[in-house]
Copies of this chain bind each other. A is one copy, B any other.
Amino acid sequence: MGAISSTPQKPCSFVTWVNNDNYALGALVLGHSLRKVETKHKLHLMYSKGVSTRMLELLKMVWDEVSSCDIIDSKDENNLKLIQRPELGITFTKLHCWRLTQYSKCAFIDSDAVVVQNVDDMMNYNEIAAAADMGWPDFFNSGVYVFEPSEETYRKLLEFALEHGTFDGGDQGLLNMFFKEWHLEGADHRLSFCYNVCPSAAYGYKAALKKIGTDIKIVHFMGHHKPWHCNKGVTPMPCFWSLWQSIYHEKVRE
């Protein structure tokens, strides 16, 4: 009675993944933005071949842990099958996040996103938690999601992908078919859209943006136009574009 459990709790972590130096610039800004909002969780970056040694050094200065993942070189049977489905390669690499079993829970965030307000409360949600995709809101957008690392889930995802492929050619289609019931789940699986706002939201429903704008927590520059491509974006949310640029210039570029 009164004994305090001494089982060490596994930590939680934010996770991203990059495979080249351009997206790595995004990961640097993302990492710094998470520091800026004073997250108490770990920052874990996965990288694949294509990230330069120099860039990796920079990344290590802001991300607590980095690990490499390169499925195509792997030798196990599932991955051999995968080599016959090269279009799934990129998708599968992202799935490696489920193997980060040193963490009890994680939030994956695309490297083309920037955190605006503290989002540590994401770790209170349950797998799979995500926000609706604007294009077809029964599906979640896979740029931001909460998951529970598990070798078992990883294996099932791999099997599922090999059997069913992915209807949109990316991880979003795959994850939405695997976690098919997401849109029927309750509040512990549904992140507010404020956790994954894409700038084009400003086109569709200006009044909503005006009403909700100050609640925005994560801005995700999904699509072709990435903030590291140029200085002045023709973006419908110039304030967030500027936020990205200011972190970039203050923390990354000098």
- Chain A interface residues toward B at CB < 8 A: 131-139, 167-169, 173, 183-187, 190, 192-194, 201, 204-205, 207-212
Q: Smallest CB–CB gap between A226 and chain B, Å?
A: 18
**CB-contact partner of A209 in B131, B132, B136, under 8 A:** B136
> Which label, helix, strand, loop or mixed, suits the secondary structure of the A interface?
mixed
Instruction: Establish whether residues B186 and A186, one from each chain, have CB atoms under 8 Å apart when the complex forms.
Output: yes
Taken together as a complex, chains A and B put the C-alpha atoms of A183 and B191 apart, in Å, by: 9
Closest-by-CB residue of B relative to A197 is B136
Which residues of B lie under 8 Å from residue A139 when comparing CB positions?
205, 208
Measured between beta carbons, the chain B residues less than 8 angstroms from A185 are 187
CB distance from A220 to the nearest CB of B (A): 13
Asked if A207 meets B137 with Cβ closer than 8 Å, knowing A184-B187, A190-B183, the reply is: no
A136 to B210: give the CA distance in the assembly, Å.
11
Q: Is there contact, CB below 8 Å, between B135 and A211? A: no
Q: Pick the contact of A205 from B131, B168, B204 — CB < 8 Å?
A: B168
Instruction: Show 22 residue pairs from A and B whose CB-CB distance is below 8 angstroms, ordered by the A residue.
Output: A131-B137, A132-B132, A132-B138, A133-B137, A133-B205, A133-B208, A134-B137, A135-B205, A136-B204, A136-B209, A136-B212, A138-B192, A138-B193, A139-B208, A167-B207, A167-B210, A169-B207, A173-B211, A183-B192, A183-B193, A184-B186, A184-B190
> A190–B138 Cα gap in the complex (Å)?
10
Are A193 and B135 in touch, CB under 8 angstroms? no
- Contacting pair A204 B135 (CB below 8 A): yes
Contacting residue for A138 out of B133, B184, B194, B207, CB 8 A: B194
Residues of chain B within 8 A (CB-CB) of A186 are: 184, 186-187
Which B residues touch A190, using CB under 8 A?
A: 183-184
- Taking the closest CB of chain B, its distance from the CB of A206, in whole angstroms, is 8
- Cα A132 to Cα B131 in complex, Å, equals 11
**With contacts A136-B209, A168-B211, A184-B187 known, what are 17 further pairs, Cβ within 8 A?**
A132-B132, A132-B137, A133-B205, A134-B137, A136-B205, A137-B137, A137-B193, A138-B212, A167-B211, A168-B207, A168-B208, A169-B207, A173-B207, A173-B211, A184-B190, A185-B187, A186-B187
A133 CA / B201 CA spacing, docked (Å): 11
A181 (CB) vs chain B CBs: closest residue:
B187
State whether B136 touches A201 (Cβ < 8 A).
yes
